[in-house]
Amino acid sequence: MNGKRYSRQRELIYETLRNTDQHPTAEMVYQWLKPDNPSLSLGTVYRNLNLLADEGAITRMAFPVERYDANVEPHSHFRCQVCGGVFDLELPYDAALDQQALMASGHDVSGHELIFHGTCVKCKTTH
């Protein structure tokens, strides 16, 4: 986190993201932090998440509701179609896919995101 003036709330939001693997929405972050931080507003959470994303400290994830990830290294995700959960997948990043996209389209490809869909382990066992 650089460039912007230090903010205790921004640091708290960032650490919350770094300490979860749930890829939370802004609303989830707000609900987690509000009990111990009664002056925190949902607007402050959104503002700080956007600042963190703009400076590259976290990644915006374009799901039906925007989610955030403090792991900015290229990696794949799985989204459960039952519960809506989002999980990291430990798969190697395939840079050759970027080259294939360049060759197929002529676009300058700087990276890709890969999202798998299906039913998560927890939902498979409860449904």
Distance of CA 77 to the CA centre of its chain: 10
pLDDT tens-digit profile of 30-88? 999 999 999 999 999 999 999 999 999 999 887 777 889 999 999 999 999 899 899 99
Same domain, 45 and 86: no
Question: In this structure, is residue 2 part of a structural domain?
Answer: no
Question: In this structure, is residue 112 part of a structural domain?
Answer: yes
Q: Structurally, how many domains does the chain consist of?
A: 2
Find where tokens 């972050």 sit. 29
Per-residue pLDDT at 5: 60
pTM of the model as a whole:
0.64
Whether 111 contacts 98, CB under 8 Å? yes
Indicate if the pLDDT at residue 89 is higher than 90.
yes
User: Model confidence at 4, in pLDDT bands (50, 70, 90)?
Assistant: low
Between residues 14 and 6, which one has the greater pLDDT?
14
